[in-house]
Structure 1
Amino acid sequence: MRRMGLLTRLVIGLAFGIFVGYFSKEILQFDALVRLLATFNSIFGGFLSYVIPLIIIGFVAPGIAELGKGAGKLLGITTLLAYASTVIAGTLAFLVGTGLLPRIVNAVGGQASNPEEALVKGFFQVDMPPIMGVMTALITAFLFGLGMAYIKSKSLYQVTKDFQEIIEKVIQSVIIPLLPIHIAGIFANMTYAGEVVRIMTIFGWVFAIIILTHLAMLLFQYTVAGAATGKNPFRALRNMVPAYLTAIGTQSSAATIPVTLRSAKNNGVSEGVADFAVPLCATIHLSGSTITLTLCAMAVMMMSGLNPIFSMMFPFVLMLGVTMVAAPGVPGGAVMAALGLLQTMLGFNEAQLGLMIALYLTQDSFGTACNVTGDGAIALLADRFARGPVTEPLQEKIA
């Protein structure tokens, strides 16, 4: 299993869960297997809730500290462009979701989730209260990140980077390997309760809507960049195709940086700006991930009979642009960083978080591809508006 890709393992887990749920209900007419998986889900969900504040501190604090130093005006311009692009992407996703998702959910059969009482409970529960609340973790991360940038503390920065490595190791070695079992438990429970057909139908439609919204956002980004720089937006997009395809394979913006750099330079971005803006955008520009998270969250809410409104979703989008800064370079890093916001701002429970993870990870490659392709547009704009040379690459700014 470890030799398989994450998406393959998730699909196997999903199929196994559906089989267990169907077999338990139609053949055995006994819920012991489903309850066993539900017990695992309860423990895993509790552990996930415990880790969420640690993920926020481990990744947001050093990410903000890194943004606090850098190349002055160019850093400010690139960061502002990246954040604006992320917010516009989330707003576009909300508008698309508002127009299309209600029709899909209603056409498939109205509310497409199980009431809480219809789900099979585990044999027992293990309480794992987090050491702090999510909002406390966010405030702490902002405080430490800004403080490290202000006092230029190398020692404290190194401590937070070491802590980030620990949390990333937890994600890579514990959470990601166990996710297929978690997904299996979720879909076994839903199959046993008789809701899996409607949910899978909605998932397929949401997947298609997400990909189309990614493409629309890329067209918007390169239209703006082309208007500002006088370049043909379609030719610029064509030059970024190698980066897009590489990101689909790697599922990592960081791993795609060399190809993104080459593609950006082929679009005429000066070498100094490209060497600075592309690595920076790999950690702070997540327009594709924001589109995916927004649409997935709206779909899960509608499947639960809730109505996502602008006053609820827009603050969520604004916070996504901050909390996903320096999201871990592992598949699904963006959704891991966003779990706290889903809990506190949208009120997601453990079952909804599990659905969110499953829905997000099935298209993570395409979200990453949208992210890195959009980085090329940000680099074009930064090259147009920046004034003054960049004297050293970003990775040398924090030493």
Structure 2
Amino acid sequence: MTAVSPSPLHRLKSTGLVTQIIIGLIAGIVLAWLAPDLAKSTEFIGKVFVSALKAVAPILVFVLVMASIANHKHGQETHIRPILFLYLLGTFAAAVVAVIASTLFPSSLVLSTQDVAVTAPGGISEVLQSLALSVVDNPVRALMTGNFIGILAWAIGMGIAIRHAGQPTRTVLEDLSNGVTVIVRLVIRFAPLGIFGLVASTLATSGFSALLGYLHLLIVLIGCMLFVALVVNPLIVFWKLRRNPYPLVFTCLRESGITAFFTRSSAANIPVNLELSRRLGLHEDTYSVSIPLGATINMAGAAITITVLTLAAVHTLGIVVDIPTAVLLSVVAAVCACGASGVAGGSLLLIPLACSLFGIPSEIAMQVVAVGFIIGVLQDSAETALNSSTDVLFTAAACLGEEERARGAA
């Protein structure tokens, strides 16, 4: 009796999720090339996928963090402090890389009188005040607007309070967390279809002709991001783990970075990162807090964008930058990046803050923001891929490093 060979559809279903995403990526490119009009109609598929991720992320973070803290056992180490240190170190290192690259390969901009209808913060104090106000935001509004700082604050507070409740209450909360996780996994299973729609519609609608005029600027931006992803981050992970970091680096880039590249939103990629952290075997009490927190403050890509575009404006205007000012710019870019919104284009609105260090008026600074929006189809995608994949990378590095240190001490 001859065995029946499985159908192509069955083979596709049995392949891994990452392979399916790559197939969707290639199919989207081919469709945009062969039938651009048809490819434009797939935009709805991509929008549905991104909207589903954004819809499930706030309630997932709220329930998961609250359940993790409520059921946290006394004496368990969550490794949040080393993760925060890695977040800050990585963001500052990215800003330094951007300063060096912009000095070695200066970019020039064609600044026009184009107006951009956006409002930028007035200073670093305003960014920090905004972060503080986000912490005490109304919980319902925080869930509705995707304010993850506010969601985290309320989830932590509720989790601590429910720790004193009876076991049945904590069991119900854990069951609720498991239920939301099931929904998230279902949404993520549609990632290949969503990526297909995003790629096909983006290439068919935007193309890359508008980017050619800013090719040098894009090369500097994306070159810095690749250098941080493939050199700086691995060095940080090696310092933490004392072993070859690249298997972990490539896993995070492949399974988190690809999805983030096309969703262009760190917030939308939170469910993907939480699922990856679970599959990596990390402690739930740790990653349930560090992943949404990283989507807000771990912004190496944003620090690069702010620094490179600011120094491009500085070079265009013929302003001389000395070493102390360059160091100060790195610090300001890192602080500003921590206040960048976790949505597409969030870092661009913080460029005027960095420009103010050099006395560049807001009218010119907003023109630089306009340039950022023009190249955003690539810049923002690469930035989000770096930001989001680094959230998982540093969480895993800190967790594994601390666990190995504990075993060595034992």
Using structure 1 for the length normalisation, give the TM-score. 0.55
1:323 is the counterpart of 2:323: no
Amino acid of the structure 2 residue aligned with 1:218: A
Q: 2:371 & 2:250 partners in 1: Cα distance?
A: 31
Task: Report deviation, 1:113.
Answer: 4.4
Total equivalences in the alignment: 264
Q: Counterparts of 2:247 and 2:237 in 1: how far apart (Å)?
A: 12
In the TM superposition, residue 304 of structure 1 has moved relative to its aligned partner by: 2.1
1:158 aligns with one of 135, 138, 141: 138
Q: Is the 8 A contact 2:256 2:269 kept in 1?
A: yes
Identity of aligned residues (%): 19
Which residue of the other structure, out of 397, 406, 410, is the alignment partner of 1:381?
397
Aligned to 1:242: 255
Question: Contact between 1:251 and 1:331, CA under 8 Å: does it hold in 2?
Answer: yes
Partners of 1:129 and 1:294 in 2: CA distance: 19
Distance 1:385 1:370, change over 3 A: same
Map 1:98-113 → 2, pairs under 5 A: 98-101=103-106, 105=108, 113=110
Segments of structure 2 that go 5 or more residues without pairing to the other structure are 1-64, 149-209, 404-410
Q: What is the aligned partner in structure 2 of residue 92 from structure 1?
A: 97
Equivalent in the alignment of 2:83: 78
* Equivalence for 1:368: 384
Q: Structure 1 residues 94 and 340 mapped into 2: Cα distance closer, same or farther (>3 Å)?
A: closer
Look up the SS of the partner of 1:318 in the other structure: helix
| 294 and 160 in structure 1: CA distance in 2 versus 1, 3 angstrom threshold | farther
Quote the offset at 1:213 in angstroms.
1.5
| Structure 1 residues 135 and 329: CA distance shift in structure 2, 3 A | closer
Q: Determine if contact 2:302/2:347 at 8 Å carries over to the other structure.
A: yes
**Structure 2 CA distance, aligned partners of 1:290 and 1:328?**
12
- What RMSD, in angstroms, separates the aligned Cα atoms of the two structures? 4.1
1:252 corresponds to which letter in structure 2?
S
- Name the counterpart of 1:254: 267
The yes-or-no answer on 1:204 pairing with 2:215 is yes
How much has 1:238 moved relative to structure 2? 2.3
Q: Is the 8 A contact 1:281 1:375 kept in 2?
A: yes
Letter in 2 for 1:283: T
Contact 1:203 1:359 in 2 (8 A): no
Query: What is the CA distance between 1:248 and its match in structure 2?
Result: 1.1
The equivalent of 2:229 in structure 1 is: 218
The amino acid that maps onto 1:229 is L
SS in 2 for 1:232: coil
Query: Which secondary structure does the structure 1 equivalent of 2:360 belong to?
Result: coil
The offset of 1:250, in angstroms, is: 0.6
Q: Is the 8 A contact 1:239 1:266 kept in 2?
A: no
Contact between 1:90 and 1:317, CA under 8 Å: does it hold in 2? Answer: yes
- CA deviations 1:149-196 (Å, max 9, x no partner) are 7xxxxxx5429966995999xxxxxxxxxxxxxxxxxxxxxxxxxxxx
Distance of 1:340 and 1:164 partners within structure 2: 28
Q: Secondary structure at the match of 2:341?
A: coil
Q: Is the alpha carbon distance of 1:308 and 1:229 closer, same or farther for their aligned partners in structure 2, counting shifts above 3 Å?
A: same
Q: Could you tell me how far apart the structure 2 residues matched to 1:160 and 1:317 are?
A: 36
C-alpha deviation, 1:332, in angstroms: 0.6
Moved over 4 A (4+): 70-73, 119-122, 138-142, 159-168, 199-202, 265-268
In the alignment, does 2:241 pair up with 1:229?
yes
Q: Name which of structure 1's ranges 330-339 and 371-380 shifts more when overlaid on structure 2.
A: 330-339
Note the residue ranges of structure 1 that are not aligned, 5 or more in a row. 1-65, 106-111, 123-127, 150-155, 169-198, 388-399
Residues 1:229 and 1:296: Cα distance change in structure 2 (over 3 Å): same
Secondary structure of the 1:255 match is coil
Distance across 1 between alignment mates of 2:237 and 2:347:
25
Deviation at 1:73, TM superposition (A): 7.3
Supply the distance in 2 between the matched residues of 1:344 and 1:283 (Cα, whole angstroms): 24
